[in-house]
Structures are given as structure tokens and as C-alpha cells.
Amino acid sequence: MSTGMALVWIVGSYLVGSVSFALLFTRLVARVDLRTVGSGNLGATNAGRALGHGWAVVIYACDFLKGFAPTGIGLWMLEPGAALADGVLPLPMLMGAAAFFGHCWPFYLGFKGGKGVATASGVILAVSWPAFVAAMIGFLLSVAIFRMISLGSVIGAFVLPIAYLATERRDAVVLPQLAWLTFFTFVTILVIARHRTNIIRIVEGQEPRVGRKAP
């Protein structure tokens, strides 16, 4: 694949990722701007406060596909032996990263988007289903115990690189798996950083729990 065509796919992945389904559905269904609701975050959890849990699931699925589809397409197009050559990151990783960045920093919304959990989850499943399952278990257990979506997201993100390292074992420290491990670690850091206000509220005991309205 030519460099120009690869750039087209990467930019296209960013544009797909930048589509804010949370903002779109709340405007179409509830006639409100999600940025003025609850936490103001453009994600499924906050959209659920305006539309209900059913719509939150739909929006999560759409955001999930924004990460899964570009990464999966990139993997499908990847030529044998071209996973990581001459220090160049593989196309699937760049497409997945572009979709993730598009969700978090959409250009048409002033680069203020969601926190990237659902989109990152889609990227992860396309690459490593065991790591995805482990991260989801961490998320679900945390939510079940503490009743906080944000805390579950942080714990799930923290589990991700550890789970990938555990499942790949020795292969995780050689290319191209090492590149994916580095990428997942980077995603983990970004997801946790984008939850910094939630972490502060958790420490202060002010973070809303499932079934309760945001303060």
C-alpha cells in the first residue's frame, strides 16, 4: 500500500472516530446539548442521564464500533511481513489510534470529545480478545462492587496492558507485540488522565454512583 493511501485510511479513521454519537442522539431524541447535561462529557454514561440506560448501551456500541471497525479493517489489509518494518508502526495501530484520538479530540467540537473508553475497547477486541475480556472483567467487577462507571473504566484501563503482557508472555517483549503493548500502555495512561476529575471526586466521595444523578 502506498503512503498516500495509508494516510487516506488514517485520516478516514480519525473522521469516523470524531463522530459523537452521544451528542448526535441526545440532540435528535431529547433535543438537548449533552455538554449541558450532568458531567458534560460526550460519552455513553452521560448520555444515559439524558436518554436512559437503553440509549446509553446503543451509544456505547456505536462508539465501540468506531474503534473496532478501523482496526479490524487495518488488520485485514495488512500485508504479510509488513506488521512492523524499519521502525514504522503498523497501519492497524495507526488507524485504531486515529479513531481513538478522533473520539477524544474531534476537530469540529473544538477538540473536546469523550474519554475514549468505548472506542479504545473496540481497538482492543480487534487485536487481543483475551486482553479485552480481562479488562472487561475488571470493569464489570469494579462497577458491581463500587457502583461507579468511572472507577470501573480506570480499573479496566489499568488491567489492559497487564492482561496483554500476561497473555502474550515472552512474545509481548518482541515486535510487533511490543508495539501493541506500548500502544495499550499509552491508551491506559490517556484514559486514566482523562478521568482525573472523576478520580478527584472519588477521593472526595462526590462521584455519582450507578442509579443516582450527578451532583
**Greater model confidence, 200 or 169:** 200
CA distance 209 to 206: 9
Residue 210 has what pLDDT?
81
Per-domain residue ranges of the chain: 3-204
- Find where cell 478522533 sits: 102
Cell of 123: 481497538
**Is residue 198's pLDDT more than 90?**
yes
pTM: 0.89
The answer to whether the CB of 98 falls within 8 A of the CB of 17 is yes
Residues 116-137, mean pLDDT to the nearest whole number: 95
